[in-house]
Amino acid sequence: MSAPLSGKPHVFLDVKIGEEIIGRIVLELFADTCPRTVENFRALCTGEKGIGKKGFPLHLKGCTFHRIIENFMIQGGDFTDHNGTGGESIYGDKFEDENLEHKHTSAGVLSMANAGPNTNGSQFFITLSDTPHLDGKHVVFGRVVKGLGVTNVLGKVKTDGDKPVERCEIYDCGELKSGDSFGIVDDDGTVDTYPQFPDDSDVNFEEATMDELAKVVNNIKDAGNTFFKKQEYNTAIKKYQKSLSYVNYIKEYNTSKRSDFSDADANTLDSLAVSCLLNHALCSSKLGWFDKAISDCSKALELDNTNPKAYFRRGQAYNLSNDTDAAKADLEKARELEPNDKGILKELDTVVKKIKAQREKEKKIYAKLFQ
C-alpha cells in the first residue's frame, strides 16, 4: 500500500499512548492553496530546520497531543511546553493566516490552532467530526488519508478536563515520497497483510462476499495463532484484537449499508467473534490476566451460550484466580455440553479436589478456635 502520485506532500505521524503503539496517521497537505502553512508543517515533521529561536528542535517527534475533546478534535504541536502555551513555527514565533476558504466539513480535517488572527505557530488539530463553527477562523491545510482509526482511538482516551491522563505522543514523524509505502501494514511474515484499522484497508467491504470477508478475519486470527505457538502472547493478543475489530467493522458496515446482509451472515460473524474472543482469553490466562480472560469468555457466551469451550476457559480462569465455586459451576456446564471431553473432566476433577482441600483446611482452622 503506497503513497499516491497526487503531487501533494504527504507526511506521517506515528502515535503511541503510554508505551502502547497505536498506529500511523498519514496526512495529505494542501500545498497548492496553503504553501507557507504546509511548508511549516512538512518541515516540522522532518525536523530539517534544526534548532528554533526558543532553543528547541523544530520537530514534532516526541511532541504530544496535549488537548483532546471527544467527538471534537485532538490537538498537538506544542513541542516546547506540551500544554498548549508553547511551540514555534519555522518562520519564527508566529506567522499570518493563509487562505481561510477551506472548511471543517468532516472528521480528519487538519487545521492550525491559534490564539486569534495571524497567530499560527506549530500547534495543529485534527477534527473528529464536522466543526463548522471553526470555519474562517482556522487555516485548514490538509486531511487524513490513512489512520482515522488512530485519531478515533486518541479521541476516546481518558482525560482530566481536556488533558489526556496518559501521555499521547508522536514518537516518530516524517515525509512520504511518491511510491513510498504508507507504513500501515505490519511486515511480520504472516498472512496478516491488512492495516490495523479496517477503514484504511483496500478490502471492498461493499461488494465482497461473506466468504471473502471471513477469510480476511481468519487470516488475521491465523497470524495470532502463529505468534501463540511461538509463545509470543502479547503479539498474539494484538492480532486477536485486530481480528475482532474487523469483525465488528464488517458487522456494522453490513448492517447499515448492505441490503443483502442476512441472518446467516450475522451468525458467521458471531462465530468468528467467539473464536477470536476465546483465543484472546487463552492468551490472557497465559499472561496471568485472569479478569480479562473471564471478561472475554463472558462476551463469547453472550454470543453463544451453548459453547462448551467458553465455559471451560472461563472455568479455568476462575480456578487460576482462586474462585473455585465459580470455576466448578462453569466446568459443570461445560461437562453438560461435552460430557466426554477429557480436558473438561480433568479440570473439573482438579477443581473439586481443590474445593475439598479448602473445606478440610477450614474445618481444621475452626476446630482449633473452639479447643
C-alpha pair distances (Å), 282 with each of 205, 230, 258, 269, 309: 30, 14, 34, 20, 11
* 134: annotated active-site residue: yes
User: First vs last Cα of the chain: how many Å apart?
Assistant: 77
Q: Pick the catalytic residue: 10, 36, 66, 67?
A: 67
Unique residue bearing C-alpha cell 458496515: 253
d(CA 111, CA 101): 12
Q: Is 303 helix (H, G, I), strand (E, B) or coil?
A: helix
d(CA 363, CA 125): 65
Per-residue tens of pLDDT for the chain, all 371 residues: 555 546 799 999 999 999 999 999 999 999 999 999 999 999 999 999 999 999 999 999 999 999 999 999 999 999 999 999 999 999 998 999 999 999 999 999 999 999 999 999 999 999 999 999 999 999 999 999 999 999 999 999 999 999 999 999 999 999 999 889 899 998 899 999 999 999 999 999 999 999 999 999 999 999 999 999 999 999 999 999 999 999 999 999 998 888 899 999 999 999 999 999 999 999 999 999 999 999 999 999 999 999 999 999 999 999 999 999 999 999 999 999 999 999 999 999 999 999 999 988 888 877 777 66
Amino acid present at 86: G
Domains and CATH numbers, the chain: 10-176 (2.40.100.10), 198-361 (1.25.40.10)
Contact 220, 188 (CB under 8 A): no
Q: Pick the catalytic residue: 40, 75, 123, 254?
A: 75
Q: Which residues face 68 on adjacent strands? A: 74
d(CA 95, CA 40): 10
φ, ψ for residue 143, nearest 5 deg:
-155, 155
Residue 278 confidence (pLDDT): 98
Report which of 121, 124, 116, 117 is spatially closest to residue 140, judged by C-alpha positions: 124
Q: Pick the catalytic residue: 134, 287, 320, 345?
A: 134
Report which of 27, 43, 354 is spatially closest to residue 182, judged by C-alpha positions: 27
**Residue partners of 63: CB distance under 8 A and separation at least 6:** 76, 77, 78, 79, 82, 169, 170
* 67: annotated active-site residue: yes
* 123: annotated active-site residue: no
Residue 1 confidence (pLDDT): 56
Contact 105, 128 (CB under 8 A): no
Q: Pick the catalytic residue: 72, 219, 225, 258?
A: 72
**Alpha helical stretches, state H, the chain:** 35-46, 148-155, 210-229, 233-257, 263-286, 290-303, 308-320, 324-337, 342-369
Q: Which residues of 18-29 are buried (b: 16+ CB within 10 A; e: fewer)?
A: eeeebbbbbbbb
Amino acid present at 221: K
d(CA 213, CA 44): 40
* 141: annotated active-site residue: no
Q: Pick the catalytic residue: 41, 124, 125, 290?
A: 125
pTM for the model stands at 0.85
* 125: annotated active-site residue: yes
